[in-house]
């Protein structure tokens, strides 16, 4: 294949692991599905405490969140215990509780990157927290990541695609090879920091639902190009595993080549990417604005 064709039909799967339940049950199930289809994906791991139960507090504060919980059958997706972590039950550690699963992801040839220390607190509290809190959160997460994998992450994907200007300034010090912090439509370079962004451009099942989701996603893929599909260990590795298998079978039929995000990073013509600032936007099916 000529080198200029290599980015014509490429799909990266970005698996976000947000909860203890997703790490314990969702990741092994996804490894099984990906293995059977000979697909290598990129797993973005939450390292530290699972405080998902704090989301219940959001129900009261945010009616859009309540709608999302009902539409996606959140208790069915995440399990009742998950709904209580960080409130009436203590928060268990996520990746740190399962070093053997981390090793399994690596030994099967997938990429692992850094998603969170405390996912829930980042998405709920980032805007009220200090720069020191942000640094401490990153330090704890990266230290835990290094304990589990023996190395530092070369990429960061912000929880819930929530970032701000302070985060972007602090991230420069970590010299990440790329970021996957947005839902932009195509890769770009973050203004001022110069870091390459590989966004999740496709919608996820949680946003568009499973019944419509497969046709919505495959119709976007018709025109070819380079795409990243966001997947959640709790969801596609849980009750929506069936539709996920159907989706990847359709993607294969459409002649897409699967690549990890690090491989996609190498395919990007860095000198041709737009340099710009991210902006925050409320996307359909989401409860809070995301960076795009």
Please give the residue ranges that form the binding site for Zn ion (CB under 5 A).
Answer: 16, 18, 159
Q: Which is nearer to Zn ion, 39 or 94 (CB)?
A: 94
Distance in Å, CB of 123 to Zn ion, minimum: 8
Q: Which is nearer to Zn ion, 105 or 268 (CB)?
A: 105
Joined together, the tokens standing for residue 112 give: 């692992």
DSSP string, 113-143: EEEESSHHHHHHHGGGS-HHHHHHHHHHHHH
Give yes or no for a contact between 233 and 15, defined as CB atoms under 8 angstroms apart. yes
Distance in Å, CB of 71 to Zn ion, minimum: 18
Residue nearest to Zn ion (CB): 16
Where would I find the beta strands (DSSP E) of the chain? 9-17, 42-46, 111-116, 155-156, 178-179, 188-190, 196-197, 225-232, 257-259, 275-276, 280-281, 290-291
Distance in Å, CB of 290 to Zn ion, minimum: 11
Q: Which is nearer to Zn ion, 231 or 268 (CB)?
A: 231
Q: Which is nearer to Zn ion, 86 or 268 (CB)?
A: 86
Q: Which is nearer to Zn ion, 18 or 124 (CB)?
A: 18
In order of 54, 56, 119, 207, 209, the CA distances from 60 in angstroms are 11, 7, 20, 21, 23
Distance in Å, CB of 46 to Zn ion, minimum: 7
SS3 257: strand
Distance in Å, CB of 228 to Zn ion, minimum: 14
């Amino acid at each position: 294949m000529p080198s200029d064709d290599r980015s014509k039909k490429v799909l990266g799967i970005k698996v976000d692991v947000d909860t203890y339940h997703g790490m314990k049950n969702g990741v092994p199930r996804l490894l099984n599905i990906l293995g059977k289809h000979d697909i290598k994906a990129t797993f973005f791991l939450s390292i530290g405490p699972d405080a998902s139960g704090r989301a219940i507090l959001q129900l009261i504060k945010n009616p859009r969140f309540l709608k999302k919980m009902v539409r996606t059958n959140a208790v069915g997706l995440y399990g009742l215990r998950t709904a209580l972590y960080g409130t009436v039950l203590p928060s268990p550690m996520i990746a740190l509780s399962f070093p053997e699963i981390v090793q399994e992801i690596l030994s099967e040839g997938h990429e692992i990157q850094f998603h969170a220390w405390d996912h829930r607190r980042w998405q709920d509290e980032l805007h009220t927290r200090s720069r020191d809190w942000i640094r401490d959160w990153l330090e704890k997460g990266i230290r835990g990541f290094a304990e589990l994998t023996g190395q530092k992450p070369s990429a960061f994907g912000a929880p819930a695609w929530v970032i701000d200007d302070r985060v972007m300034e602090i991230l420069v010090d970590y010299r990440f090879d790329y970021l996957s912090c947005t839902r932009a439509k195509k890769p770009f370079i973050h203004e001022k920091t110069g870091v390459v962004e590989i966004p999740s451009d496709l919608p996820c099942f949680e946003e568009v639902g499973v019944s419509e989701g497969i046709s919505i996603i495959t119709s976007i893929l018709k025109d070819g190009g380079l795409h990243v599909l966001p997947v959640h260990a709790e969801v596609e590795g849980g009750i929506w595993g069936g539709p996920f298998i159907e989706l990847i079978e359709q993607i294969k039929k459409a002649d897409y080549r699967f690549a990890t995000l690090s491989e996609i990073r190498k395919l990007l013509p860095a000198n041709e990417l737009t340099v710009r600032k991210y902006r925050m936007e409320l996307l359909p099916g989401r409860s809070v604005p995301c960076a795009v």
